[in-house]
Amino acid sequence: MEKFSTAIAGYRKEEVNKFLNDVISQVETIISELKAKDVEIEKLQKEMEHYKNMETTFNRALLIAEDASSQIKRIARDEGAGIINDAKRNASRIVNEALIQAEKSKLEHEQIKRNILSLKRRLRSILESHLELVEDMERIDL
């Protein structure tokens, strides 16, 4: 608190005026600083609003990305299951074809064995008849 010296008609006018000028100067400085702070606050509020808007946009984008990711995963699982089912069907078909081919090969092998046996019998028969002829020829020559 400021103390003033006294004069005949009260306080000294110069000291009071100087004090008032100092107070006015300080108040003007404070008002100026408050206005600057208000401007800064308004600027920061606008920036904060901008960032809130960006956050909202990012959140929406994130939700869309998560949804897209889920859809891609679902589609990939479905396609994978389809590929596996196709592979199983193809594998079954290949195994069945191989079994049929093996059975055909077995039947062909058995047919060939029978044909060989039949051919051996005929050859034996022919050879025996020729041997008989040779023996008959030897008897006649004697």
DSSP 37-92: HHHHHHHHHHHHHHHHHHHHHHHHHHHHHHHHHHHHHHHHHHHHHHHHHHHHHHHH
The percent of residues in the chain predicted with pLDDT above 90, rounded, is: 77
C-alpha to C-alpha distance for 134 and 128, rounded to whole angstroms: 10
Q: What pLDDT, on a 0 to 100 scale, did the predictor assign at position 47? A: 96
CA 33 to chain centre: 56
Which band of pLDDT confidence, cut at 50, 70 and 90, is reported for residue 15? confident
Which band of pLDDT confidence, cut at 50, 70 and 90, is reported for residue 28? very high
Which band of pLDDT confidence, cut at 50, 70 and 90, is reported for residue 138? confident
C-alpha to C-alpha distance for 131 and 59, rounded to whole angstroms: 105
Q: What pLDDT, on a 0 to 100 scale, did the predictor assign at position 46? A: 96
Q: Domain ranges for the chain, please list them.
A: 6-141
- Name the burial class of residue 22, with classes exposed (0-12), middle (13-18) and buried (19+) by CB atoms within 10 angstroms of its CB: exposed
Residue 4 has pLDDT above 60, yes or no: no
Q: What pLDDT, on a 0 to 100 scale, did the predictor assign at position 63? A: 97
